[in-house]
Each structure stands twice: as C-alpha cells, then as structure tokens.
Amino acid sequence: MDIEKNNKYLASSSEYRTGPSLKKFSLFGSTFQFYAKLIRIIFYSNKQAKKGIYDDSRWIHSSLDILNSLEQAGIKFHFTGLHNLHSFEGAAVFIGNHMSTLETVILPGIIHPVKKVCFVVKKELTTYPLFGPVNNARQPIVVGRKNPRDDLKLVMEEGAKRLASGKSIIIFPQRTRSFTFSPKSFNTLGIKLAKQNNVPIVPVAILTDAWTNGKLIKEFGKIDISKKVRIAFGEPMNITGNGMEQHQKTIDFISTNLIDWGRKHYIRE
C-alpha cells in the first residue's frame, strides 16, 4: 500500500485487498519487525498529540501507516462493503464485534476519510503513557466500565453531541476484546444511541485474530501471518420500532461472515 495515495481513496471502491507484490520485512520475525515500526508510529503520533496537531489527516495517516506495516510483516487484508460508507448522508453508528487491538488502529484509516468518526473507549486507554494523549486527541467517548448505568447515560449524552456535529461513532457492544462472539452478550447500546438520534447503524463484521493478545501486555501479542484480516461493512439500516430487528440483523451479519471466513467455532451461543 502507498500510504499517501490511499490516504483518501482506500474506500473509493467496494473492496480492498493487499497487493501480491508488496515488499515484506526480511531480516527478523514478523512480530519483532512490526512492533519496531509500531513504536515509531506511536512516538510520532504522541508527539503530534502533545503539540495539539494530531488532526484528522494525521490520524488517517498513522492508521494507514500501521496497516502498511502489518502488510509488510506479511499480513494480508481483505475489506468488503466499502461502498456502504458512501451510501448514506450524515452520521451513523458503526456496530461491530471486537477481536483485537488491530481493528481499533486501522478502522480510522478506512472510515474517517469518508465519515468522520470517534470511538467509545475504556478509560484505561486514555491514561497510557504514550497512547493516552493520542487517544484523547481524537475526542473519544470515555467509559469507566465500573457502573454500567453511568456508562449508558454518558454514552447517550456524549454520543448525541458527536452525532449532532456530524461525527459518526464506532462502538463495540462486547465491551472487551475476544476472539469469540457471543450474541447473548452483544448489548443494544449502539441501537439505542442510533434510535435516539435518528441516525442509521452500519454493521461491521471483524476478523482480526492475526493480532493475538499478549501475555504480559494485552495490546502486544504475536502477529500471526498465516491468518488473513477481514472486515466487512454491511448496508446501513434505519432503526424501526424498538430496534430489535436491526439488532438481530447485525448479529446475523457478523455471525454469517465469521462462518464464511471459517471461524464458526468462534461463535458462542
């Protein structure tokens, strides 16, 4: 991937695939080489955030820089349904399963050039020494995860402000990263937020088990180049009634894609 070329045009077609002729790292293991690059990206992003210049274009650039570094490490990407990002006006709530750190760092490079977005994130991610200032610079909706009722109120209030300003929201109803997908624990917060603000939802199916969880630090796990990263964007849906129909369709979209991608065993009833 040419970062500058794709800074605005990654979602210009319906799908994206890693090219077959990409130059890869050659001297050390994929995991070591990738994290050496990731640390460089985090450092320059942190520096920009502290200077107050980590703006939209820099966020997109750093996101695509990480994607490019993963490709150089040997990871293959396949994104589908990118045309759905262009198929509606205004903001939306993107609702997806949450497997690893990978989707949180590359989704901005995919979505933000088309629809400005922010994340709903746990408080810990805003206090990390290096990544904290970067996260805070992008004005996320921060939840504590200690009091679900307070978190719900905060997301609804802050989410309404973001959506009213034209900014879309990425939300992971699982609340924590897991390779398994449990429909029963997939809450309806995103549905409620979209309904209250009269915006559509966009279901997102995510397969990012190529970035495993670390034993000491969860964000720093092994990079498994034998696994392809896949992300599928579904058609936007307007919320009708109590939203349970759209909630079920989102669950079905994620489950169907996981099955098609050979990960039926990740689905837990």
What pLDDT tens digit does each residue of the chain (269 aa) get? 444 444 446 788 899 999 875 555 544 568 888 999 999 999 999 999 999 999 999 999 999 999 999 999 999 999 999 999 999 999 999 999 999 999 999 999 999 999 999 999 888 777 777 778 898 899 999 887 677 788 889 999 999 999 999 999 999 998 788 999 999 999 999 999 999 999 999 999 999 999 987 676 667 778 999 999 999 999 999 999 999 999 999 999 999 999 999 999 999 97
Q: Per the structure, how many domains does the chain have?
A: 1
118, 100, 97: which is closest to 213 by C-alpha? Answer: 100
Whether the CB-CB separation of 196 and 179 falls below 8 Å is answered with no
Residue 186 maps to a domain: yes
Owner of token pair 């200690």: 146
Residue 226 maps to a domain: yes
Distance CA 180, CA 48 (A): 35
Residue 98 maps to a domain: yes
Residue 19 maps to a domain: no
- The dihedral through the CA atoms of 223, 171, 206, 57 has a sign that is negative
Residue 151 maps to a domain: yes
pLDDT at 22: 58
State the CATH number of the domain containing residue 145: 3.40.1130
Distance CA 80, CA 16 (A): 7
Residue 73 maps to a domain: yes
pTM above 0.85? Answer: yes
Cα distances from 60 to residues 17, 51, 127, 268, in angstroms, run 18, 17, 22, 34
pLDDT at 112: 95
pLDDT at 3: 43
Q: Residue 152 sits in which domain range? A: 27-266
Residue 3 maps to a domain: no
Residue 21 maps to a domain: no
